[in-house]
Amino acid sequence: MTLLTLVRHGQTDWNLDRRIQGSTDIPLNETGRADARTAAAHLAGTTHHAIYTSPLLRARETAEIISAELGLGAPVLVPDIREREFGEGEGMLVSEYMEAYGGWHAEVPGAETLGDVADRALRALDAIARDSRRRSTPVAESVVVVAHGGVIRSLIDHVSGGTLPRVGDQIVNGSAHRFEASPGMLRLLDQTVLI
């Protein structure tokens, strides 16, 4: 078994503006760096053995801050936990996106579906869990994975059979979502808002 704590990256200026980032590589702002330090302080109460991250700058910088605070070594980049690609919707304000497309499940030219995101993220988490089990001591390995709101939302939706997150629930910057992974299985343990 592997314990996976997925942390959403810290705030960016586009988050603040409520602008869809998707695969656009936007850096953290100062609040985002503080979000990462707050997440690290919260995670310090639990033992973690490694840290993995999306290669996008906002996640990578969050992971580097957390790693430095917890002494975890360099974060391992995992391309398949990058944010959902929103195609023509990238760069739009959320209000513009909703007006143009009607909702998060709409078909948008060039965009991934939530199911597509969940599929690639599940494969990535399975690979992370397998990698950590190869290095594991007799106790469960615990790793931190810095990802994105769309990725975390798609995984929660998948493992809950579509019952979570509830309508209106937000995956806030700096929040942590703990999963348990074993061969062929991923289970949501808890969600914690760190800010």
Q: Active-site residue numbers?
A: 9, 83
Q: How far is CA 190 from CA 21, 71, 112, 122, 177, in A?
A: 26, 24, 26, 18, 6
Distances (CA, A) of 17 to 54, 86, 105, 109, 166: 22, 17, 22, 23, 23
For CA atoms 174, 27, 68, 77, the dihedral sign is positive
Task: Round to whole Å and give the CA distance between 187 and 82.
Answer: 21
Q: Distance between CA atoms of 64 and 34, rounded to whole angstroms?
A: 13
The torsion of the CA quartet 79, 115, 113, 144, rounded to 10 degrees, works out to -30
